């Protein structure tokens, strides 16, 4: 199976995430000398992730004995590993249950940490880091899901080289009276480096064809996002213009030797889906470096709207916000829960004729940011962009419970019972999209990844010969409902993978 690029495991019955500390169902031979190992016989997740590594035949000659070290070809003792989960935010209207389908589950991270320890011992360093949305309460989130306790578990077991890191340098709190409070955060203790992609950026082609562009981001509070006709200069313009495209990257990312990207199987309003490629947006210091959309309609050179939303539609949105704001913090939260509880779990998807603020298939901005950051992840170090790969990569997609409808934060659960592993990010996204019932070539970030030449992200030819799975490929599909702005583009685009080649 050495030629396998992507491997997937489909649970044949409903599978639940185990509880902290996410112990394996048995003491596998490679961990026979690990004193902290205990058993949770019901943990099917651990075995599935391990099986995916076995399927790749990493360290083939030692599989099944105490010397098996599957990450040994990726990283050596004393080196640095980054595990990049999808943490997004601390809040979900369904409470802790909702986080099961919006967050990369720590039970998968547990498996990866154990094999990282096997590879680098106590002399290397393991960082679990992300840049969630600016309003995320990181400590609350990581404690709720058990990730914070997991790191403490390792530290108390003698592994003080494992660190949980919030890459943000500030956290924003929104109040019902429209006030905004910003709190400074420590961020990456090793600091940050500005990486300028210049004319290697995917935005360079746009600038050269259409002239200077105006970029908006969700983290820009100088823009009135509720006024669809506003075209004031966006905050990302400071970092993105012709021949200058800067992303501020944590040095802990730029100095790592091996990155394990742990994504979630979800739909996404801006990008269509959020899998391995999209998950890398969490290596930026803040959203101001990350163009999300351009104001206006395509006819005006923007991509925020297909057509400007009607006054009636905008009035309804504003009234809803005013309703929540006037109730105060606690009542507002209660009102939101009641509002969402009143909606059935699964509805026939209402077609949406008024996509708002870039959350539709015509978004021509976000895929460029995503691919830029994947180029940086593969080729950049603290000195800037290099011509050769700087670190090794492995991707894991958590689809035990996925998310469809209005992802990536407020969607609905899909018990897809899947875990995907990939040696290449584009290959993982192609398979992940297929297993969601989407044609991956209808998703711009995947389709456009094929056009990168100088700094390619993948160099694969993906077909059924290099995909490994425990059941036939077509039987592993779970049909996901796209977000409103992507419904017409992605729904019912399911394709036959048999003859598909990237």
CA distances from 108 to 84, 164, 221 (A): 12, 15, 36
Averaged over 20-38, what is the pLDDT?
97
The pLDDT mean for the chain works out to 91
Q: DSSP readout, 232-256?
A: PPPGGGGTEETTEEEEEEEHHHHT-
Question: Do residues 454 and 202 make contact, with C-beta atoms less than 8 angstroms apart?
Answer: no
Alpha-carbon dihedral of residues 164, 169, 171, 172, nearest 10 degrees?
Answer: -160
Residue 356 burial (CB count, 10 A): 21
The string of pLDDT tens digits covering residues 383-428 is 999 999 999 999 999 999 999 999 999 899 999 999 999 999 999 9
302/293 Cα distance (integer angstroms): 8
Enclosing H/E stretch for 183: strand 180-184
Residues in the chain, overall count: 502
Q: Residue 204 — very low, low, confident or very high, per pLDDT cuts 50/70/90? A: very high
Question: Do residues 49 and 105 make contact, with C-beta atoms less than 8 angstroms apart?
Answer: no
Q: Residue 436 — very low, low, confident or very high, per pLDDT cuts 50/70/90? A: very high
pLDDT score, position 177:
63
* pLDDT above 60 (res 55): yes
Q: DSSP readout, 382-431?
A: TTEE-SS--SEEEEEEEEEEEEESSTTTS-EEE---EEEEESSHHHHHHH
pLDDT score, position 502:
45
The string of pLDDT tens digits covering residues 221-268 is 888 888 899 999 999 999 999 999 999 999 999 999 999 999 999 999
* pLDDT above 80 (res 91): yes
The string of pLDDT tens digits covering residues 319-374 is 766 665 555 445 555 655 554 554 444 544 554 445 678 999 999 999 999 999 99
- State yes or no: cis peptide before 332, omega within 30 of 0: no
Question: Do residues 130 and 282 make contact, with C-beta atoms less than 8 angstroms apart?
Answer: yes
Residue 445 burial (CB count, 10 A): 27
Angle 438-441-444 (CA atoms, 0-180°, nearest 5)? 105
Q: In 8-35, which positions are buried (b, 16+ CB within 10 angstroms) versus exposed (e)?
A: bbbbeeebebbeebbbbbeebebbeeee
pLDDT score, position 224:
85
pLDDT score, position 435:
96
* Domain extent listing, the chain: 6-291+298-499
100/106 Cα distance (integer angstroms): 10
pLDDT score, position 333:
56
150/166 Cα distance (integer angstroms): 16
The string of pLDDT tens digits covering residues 302-322 is 999 988 888 887 887 777 666
Q: How far is CA 193 from the centre of its chain?
A: 22
150/267 Cα distance (integer angstroms): 28
pLDDT score, position 470:
96
The string of pLDDT tens digits covering residues 442-494 is 999 999 998 787 898 988 778 888 999 999 999 999 999 999 899 989 988 87
Angle 218-222-223 (CA atoms, 0-180°, nearest 5)? 60
Question: Do residues 114 and 150 make contact, with C-beta atoms less than 8 angstroms apart?
Answer: no
Q: In 297-332, which positions are buried (b, 16+ CB within 10 angstroms) versus exposed (e)?
A: beeebbbbbbebbeeeebeeeeeeeeebeeeeeeeb
Question: Do residues 420 and 7 make contact, with C-beta atoms less than 8 angstroms apart?
Answer: yes
pLDDT score, position 352:
44
The string of pLDDT tens digits covering residues 145-185 is 999 999 999 999 999 999 999 999 999 987 766 678 899 99
pLDDT score, position 344:
47
Q: How far is CA 106 from the centre of its chain?
A: 14
Question: Do residues 371 and 393 make contact, with C-beta atoms less than 8 angstroms apart?
Answer: no
Residues 6+ apart with CB under 8 A from 189: none
Averaged over 95-118, what is the pLDDT?
96
17/419 Cα distance (integer angstroms): 12
Residue 457 backbone phi and psi in degrees, to 5: -90, -40
CA distances from 191 to 88, 183, 185, 231, 251 (A): 22, 18, 12, 33, 6
What sign does the dihedral 482-484-486-490 (CA atoms) show? positive
The tokens for 176 are: 């019902």
């Amino acid at each position: 199976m050495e030629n396998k690029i992507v491997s997937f495991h489909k649970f044949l019955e409903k599978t639940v995430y185990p509880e902290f500390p996410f112990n394996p169902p048995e003491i596998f031979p490679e961990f026979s000398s690990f004193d902290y190992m205990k058993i949770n016989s019901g943990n099917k997740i651990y075995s599935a992730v391990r099986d995916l590594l076995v399927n790749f035949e990493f360290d083939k000659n030692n599989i099944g004995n105490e010397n098996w070290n599957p990450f040994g070809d990726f990283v050596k003792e004393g080196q640095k590993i980054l595990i990049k989960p999808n943490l997004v935010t601390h809040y979900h209207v369904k409470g802790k249950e909702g986080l099961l389908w919006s967050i990369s589950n720590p039970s998968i991270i547990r498996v990866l940490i154990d094999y990282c320890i096997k590879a680098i011992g106590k002399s290397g360093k393991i960082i679990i880091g992300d840049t969630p949305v600016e309003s995320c309460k990181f400590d609350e989130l990581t404690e709720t899901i058990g990730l914070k306790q997991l790191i403490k578990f390792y530290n108390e077991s003698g592994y003080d080289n494992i660190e949980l890191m919030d890459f943000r340098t500030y956290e924003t709190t929104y109040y019902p009276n429209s006030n905004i409070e910003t709190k400074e955060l420590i961020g990456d203790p090793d600091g940050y480096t500005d990486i300028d992609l210049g004319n290697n950026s995917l935005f360079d082609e746009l600038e050269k064809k259409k002239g200077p562009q105006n970029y908006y981001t969700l983290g820009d509070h100088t823009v009135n996002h509720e006024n669809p006709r506003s075209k004031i200069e966006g905050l990302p313009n400071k970092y993105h213009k012709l021949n200058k495209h800067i992303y501020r990257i944590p040095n802990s990312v730029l100095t790592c030797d091996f990155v394990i990207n742990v994504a979630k199987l979800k739909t996404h309003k801006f990008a269509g889906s959020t899998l391995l490629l999209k998950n890398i947006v969490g290596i930026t210091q803040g959203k101001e470096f990350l163009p999300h959309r351009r104001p206006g309609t395509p006819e005006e050179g923007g991509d925020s709207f297909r057509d400007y939303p009607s006054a009636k539609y905008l009035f309804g949105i504003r009234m809803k916000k005013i309703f929540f704001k006037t109730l105060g913090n606690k009542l507002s939260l209660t009102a939101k829960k009641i509002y969402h509880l009143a909606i059935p779990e699964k509805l026939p998807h209402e077609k949406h004729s008024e996509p708002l603020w870039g959350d539709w298939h015509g978004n021509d901005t976000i895929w460029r940011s995503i691919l830029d950051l994947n180029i940086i992840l593969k080729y950049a170090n603290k000195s800037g962009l290099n011509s050769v790969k700087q670190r090794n990569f492995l991707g894991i997609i958590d689809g035990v419970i996925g998310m469809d409808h209005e992802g990536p934060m407020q969607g609905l659960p899909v018990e897809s019972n899947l875990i995907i592993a990939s040696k290449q990010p584009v290959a993982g996204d192609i398979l992940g999209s297929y297993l969601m019932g989407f044609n991956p070539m209808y998703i711009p970030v995947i389709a456009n990844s094929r056009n990168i030449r100088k700094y390619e992200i993948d160099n694969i030819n993906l077909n059924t010969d290099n995909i490994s799975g425990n059941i036939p490929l077509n039987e592993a599909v779970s049909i996901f409902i796209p977000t409103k702005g992507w419904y017409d583009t992605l729904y019912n685009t399911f394709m036959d993978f048999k003859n598909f080649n990237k």
